[in-house]
């Protein structure tokens, strides 16, 4: 693995860092306080084609890899996690279209998605299908199957004129309120076929009913509501990939590296603010950064940032080289998201009372970071996946 970024990657990092410092940081606290979607910032990122960072250039993207994605997401998240989340979830939908969709879908969606003119949202989780996604209750059936017990598995995916009818709900659909289309996962086959019984459809947002928009601890400027589908009809063209294969192939593109990258960004921002504060603030006639207990804590914060970043870049680099990344991605996810929580928490302690107020950013970092050990698969599931990858398979013994 390359241990340092290439010159091009450093240029990209500098470009997005300047953008984040000039265009996002000054507005971050306000967006959070007003719970306002960062539409203007995302539109600017779209103009610069960051919304299509990893999409091929022929579809209007920048054609970059996952290392570049990790670099960009860290910088955005250091300014505010919500911009990074909104962009990453959107890019995840575009990546699914690019990898699994038809040429017609690529041409229709990707150039506008690369500019953030068409906005995507991911509809995978449900009320009873959080960690256990295959417990989803949303169904899609062929219009011709409605009222019959026909099994859609045998259907010819390319038949014209056959609509699909979707029923159910999706929960935690990030971006939904400002999105145009939801990549909606639905059961199209019996549970006996799991995981090959889930298909994905591009469903326009105006086909859903919004049931609930939660108030959340953090990530307040980008809402993730619960939405429902009641007999929504979409054409055969809305199907992304082959019938029954969407869940099994959802990991392709390994865009999941964006979650640890968001953690690295928050952990780093918390460290930088703490260094500035500990250097500036004096008590008992000395900088608080001169007290040994504080010095060790700050050293530990820096160690967390570097280990989180290295693990994240390793996972991204392996994915870029077409290698399996299950083990590396889980390690990075656990390390980086827990680093973000720990650093934001330490930052608040070292800031003292002012850190507990909205005059400083550290309370926002802590609220935002808390999401990351839950979303993108709770860390407990990543610990299970990691143990599976490390321990010998019992069945094979
Ligand atoms: C703000 C926000 C935005 C989100 N955005 C999206 C989105 O855009 N699209 C989307 O599809 N989903 C999204 N999600 C959903 C997210 O991926 C789920 O919340 C997550 O997968 C966990 O599901 P759950 O909340 O139902 O928790 P549950 O599955 O109920 O789990 C609760 C807890 O139980 C424990 N647990 C569960 N299973 C195990 C196990 N096997 N071993 C040990 N412990 C376990 C863990 O501690 C876990 O945190 C979002 C969630 C939030 C909160």
Establish whether residue 385 lines the binding site of ligand 1, counting it when its CB lies within 6 angstroms of any ligand atom. Answer: no
Q: Which of 131, 50, 100, 55 is nearest to 251 (CA)?
A: 100
Question: Residue 9 and residue 237: Cα distance in Å, rounded?
Answer: 37
Ligand 1 centre distance from Cα of residue 226 (Å): 14
Q: What is the pLDDT of residues 24-44, one digit of tens each?
A: 999 999 999 999 999 999 999
Closest-CA residue, ligand 1 atom 31, reads 131
Residue with tokens 């969606």: 109
Domain covering 7-114: architecture: Orthogonal Bundle (1.10)
Establish whether residue 372 lines the binding site of ligand 1, counting it when its CB lies within 6 angstroms of any ligand atom. Answer: no
Establish whether residue 380 lines the binding site of ligand 1, counting it when its CB lies within 6 angstroms of any ligand atom. Answer: yes
Closest-CA residue, ligand 1 atom 38, reads 131
Closest-CA residue, ligand 1 atom 4, reads 172
Q: In the chain, where do the E strands start and end?
A: 120-123, 139-142, 164-170, 181-187, 198-204, 209-212, 226-234, 239-240, 282-283, 286-287
Closest-CA residue, ligand 1 atom 1, reads 224
Q: What is the pLDDT of residues 324-358, one digit of tens each?
A: 999 999 999 999 999 999 999 999 999 999 999 99
CATH number of 120-240: 2.40.110.10
Closest-CA residue, ligand 1 atom 45, reads 380
Domain boundaries, the chain: 7-114, 120-240, 255-396
Of 1.20.140.10, 1.20.1070.10, 3.60.20.10, 1.10.340.30, the CATH number of 255-396 is 1.20.140.10
Q: What is the pTM of this model?
A: 0.95
Q: What is the pLDDT of residues 116-174, one digit of tens each?
A: 999 999 999 999 999 999 999 999 999 776 544 334 444 444 444 589 999 999 999 99
Ligand 1 centre distance from Cα of residue 371 (Å): 10
Q: Which of 204, 190, 193, 195 is nearest to 237 (CA)?
A: 204
Question: Residue 95 and residue 18: Cα distance in Å, rounded?
Answer: 26
Establish whether residue 335 lines the binding site of ligand 1, counting it when its CB lies within 6 angstroms of any ligand atom. Answer: no
Establish whether residue 200 lines the binding site of ligand 1, counting it when its CB lies within 6 angstroms of any ligand atom. Answer: no
Q: Which residues contact 308 (CB under 8 A, 6 or more apart)?
A: 260, 263, 264, 267, 332, 335, 336, 339, 340
Beta bridge partners of 170: 227
What is the average per-residue pLDDT within 41-51? 98
What is the average per-residue pLDDT within 291-312? 98
- Rounded to 5 degrees, φ, ψ at 141 are -130, 155
Q: What is the pLDDT of residues 216-237, one digit of tens each?
A: 999 999 999 999 999 999 999 9
Work out which ligand 1 atom sits closest to the CA atom of 224.
3
Question: Residue 53 and residue 87: Cα distance in Å, rounded?
Answer: 10
Establish whether residue 375 lines the binding site of ligand 1, counting it when its CB lies within 6 angstroms of any ligand atom. Answer: yes
H or E segment and range at residue 61: none
């Amino acid at each position: 693995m390359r241990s340092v970024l290439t010159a091009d990657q450093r240029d990209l990092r500098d470009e997005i860092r300047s953008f984040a410092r000039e265009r996002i940081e000054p507005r971050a606290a306000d967006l959070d306080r007003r719970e306002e979607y960062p539409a203007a910032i995302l539109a600017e990122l779209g103009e610069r084609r960051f919304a299509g960072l990893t999409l091929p250039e022929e579809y209007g993207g920048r054609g970059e890899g996952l290392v570049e994605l990790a670099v960009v997401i860290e910088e955005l998240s250091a300014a505010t996690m919500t911009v990074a989340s909104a962009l990453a979830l959107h890019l995840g939908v575009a990546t699914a279209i690019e990898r699994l969709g038809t040429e017609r879908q690529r041409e229709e969606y990707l150039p506008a998605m690369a500019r953030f003119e068409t906005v995507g949202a991911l509809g995978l989780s449900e009320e009873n299908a959080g960690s256990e996604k295959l417990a989803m209750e949303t169904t899609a059936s062929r219009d011709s199957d409605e009222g019959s017990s026909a099994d859609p598995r045998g259907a010819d995916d390319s038949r014209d004129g056959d609509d699909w009818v979707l029923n159910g709900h999706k929960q935690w659909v990030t971006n939904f309120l400002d999105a145009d289309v939801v990549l909606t996962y639905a059961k199209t086959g019996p549970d006996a076929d799991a995981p090959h019984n889930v298909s994905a459809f591009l469903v326009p947002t105006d086909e859903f009913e919004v049931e609930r928009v939660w108030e959340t601890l953090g990530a307040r400027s980008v809402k993730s509501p619960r939405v429902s589908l009641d007999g929504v009809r979409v054409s055969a063209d809305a199907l992304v990939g082959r019938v029954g294969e969407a869940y099994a192939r959802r990991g392709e593109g390994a865009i999941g590296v964006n979650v640890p990258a968001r953690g690295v960004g928050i952990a780093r921002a918390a460290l930088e603010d703490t260094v500035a504060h500990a250097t500036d603030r004096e008590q008992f006639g000395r900088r608080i950064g001169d007290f040994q207990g504080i010095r060790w804590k700050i050293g530990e914060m820096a160690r967390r940032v570097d280990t989180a970043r290295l693990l994240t870049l390793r996972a991204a680099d392996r994915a870029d080289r077409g290698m399996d990344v299950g083990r590396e991605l889980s390690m990075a996810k656990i390390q980086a998201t827990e680093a973000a929580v720990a650093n934001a928490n330490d930052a608040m302690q070292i800031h003292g009372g002012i850190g507990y107020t909205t005059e400083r950013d550290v309370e926002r970092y802590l609220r935002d970071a808390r999401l990351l050990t839950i979303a993108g698969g709770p860390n407990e599931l990543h610990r299970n996946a990691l143990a599976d990858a490390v321990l010998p398979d019992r069945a094979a013994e």
